[in-house]
Amino acid sequence: MAVRYSKHHGLGNDFLVTLTDSLPLDAGDRAISLCDRTTGIGADGLIFGLQGLDGSMGMRLLNSDGSPAELSGNGLRCFAQAVARHRGVPHLEIDVDTPAGVRHCSVHATPDRNTIVATVDMGVVCPGPDPDVDDLIAHVGDAVRMVKRWETGDIGNPHVICEVDDPSEVDLLVAGPAIESHFEDGANVHFVAVTGLNELSVRVWERGAGVTNACGTGATVSAQLFHNWDLVGPKVVVRMPGGDALVDLQGPVTLTGPATHIADIEVPDA
C-alpha cells in the first residue's frame, strides 16, 4: 500500500502533509526519512492530519529531525490548505487541535490555484523559558556579540528573540545553536531588526530543523515583544527570507500569509 502526502510551503518553510485517523508509532522515524533532502522527499517537517469520526481535525507536527513541535504558524496554513484541497473547497473555516491548543484557521483562495492566503489564530504570547545559565549572552561569545537585547516568549512553543542592527550579518549556523544550547528543551532563535514603520526583518534558527526561510510562531512572538518594547505598533509586517507575513496583535493574535501547494506524492508504506 502507498501513503499519500501533499507537499506545501509557507514562505519557503516547507512541509509534507498526510491525512490519517491515527498517529503512527514510527512517526518520528518517518519524519527523519521523508524530510531528508538527499535521500527523502525533503521538508522542514512532517504533518499528520488526524481526522476524527465527528469531523474534527487535529494536527501533529514532527520536525525534520523527528522531534515533535507543539505549533507552527506556517505549518497550520499548509495543513489548512491540504484539508481544503482534500474537501474540494476554495474557502475554509476550520478549528485545528494542536498540542498547544485549538487554533482557528480561515482559508481563502487566490487567483493562483496553487496558493491560498490563510489567517491563523495564534493564541497568547507568554513569557518563555529561562536559559540554563544566568547570563546567556556572556556565555556564547563572539557568535552573538551583536545582540543588543533579548527576551524569551512562548506561544505554545519556545522562542528566543534577539534584537540586532542587521539580521543578515548574523551567522545563523553558529549563533543559532550556540544560543539554543542554553535551553534545556531547546528553543527557536530569531535575530530581528526594525526595518521600517511597523516592519520587522527576521532570520530564523528553528529547533529541530535548523535554518529555515520563515517561522510563523517566531514572527508572531517577535512582533509581540517588539511591540512590548514600543518599537512597533499592534499591526506588524514581518519580513523573512521566504517572504512577508502580517501579525495583528489587536484582539486575538493572528498571523496572515500564503501557503502554496507544491506536489502530491505517494510513498510505498514500509
How many other C-beta atoms are found inside a 10 Å radius of the C-beta of residue 209? Answer: 21
What amino acid occupies position 117?
Answer: V
Looking at the structure, tell me whether residues 51 and 115 fall in a common domain.
yes
Q: What is the mean pLDDT of residues 123-135?
A: 80
**pLDDT at site 32:** 97
Looking at the structure, tell me whether residues 80 and 164 fall in a common domain.
no
Cell of 147: 545582540
**pLDDT at site 219:** 98
Pairing relationship of beta strands 115-121 and 101-109 according to DSSP bridges:
antiparallel
Share of the chain above pLDDT 70, in %: 94
Q: Minimal CA–CA distance to 187: which of 162, 159, 213? A: 159
Looking at the structure, tell me whether residues 39 and 147 fall in a common domain.
no
Q: What is the mean pLDDT of residues 91-114?
A: 96
Looking at the structure, tell me whether residues 132 and 104 fall in a common domain.
no
Looking at the structure, tell me whether residues 130 and 245 fall in a common domain.
yes
Backbone angles phi, psi at 49, to 5 degrees: -95, 115
Domains identified in the chain, total number: 2
CB-count burial class (<10 Å; 0-12, 13-18, 19+) for 149: exposed
User: Which tens digit of pLDDT belongs to each residue from 222-255?
Assistant: 999 999 999 999 999 999 999 999 999 998 999 9
How many other C-beta atoms are found inside a 10 Å radius of the C-beta of residue 243? Answer: 16
Q: Minimal CA–CA distance to 24: which of 4, 57, 50? A: 50
Looking at the structure, tell me whether residues 228 and 167 fall in a common domain.
yes
User: Which tens digit of pLDDT belongs to each residue from 81-96?
Assistant: 999 999 999 999 999 9
Looking at the structure, tell me whether residues 88 and 181 fall in a common domain.
no
Looking at the structure, tell me whether residues 111 and 197 fall in a common domain.
no
Looking at the structure, tell me whether residues 88 and 192 fall in a common domain.
no
Q: What is the mean pLDDT of residues 106-119?
A: 97
Looking at the structure, tell me whether residues 163 and 185 fall in a common domain.
yes
**pLDDT at site 270:** 64
* Polymer length in residues for the chain: 270
Q: Judge whether 123 and 143 are in contact, CB under 8 Å.
A: no
What amino acid occupies position 254?
Answer: T
- The domain in which residue 66 lies consists of 2-122+256-268
Looking at the structure, tell me whether residues 29 and 90 fall in a common domain.
yes
Full-model pTM = 0.93
Query: CA quadruple 135, 136, 142, 147: dihedral positive or negative?
Result: negative
CATH of the domain at 82: 3.10.310.10
Looking at the structure, tell me whether residues 159 and 101 fall in a common domain.
no
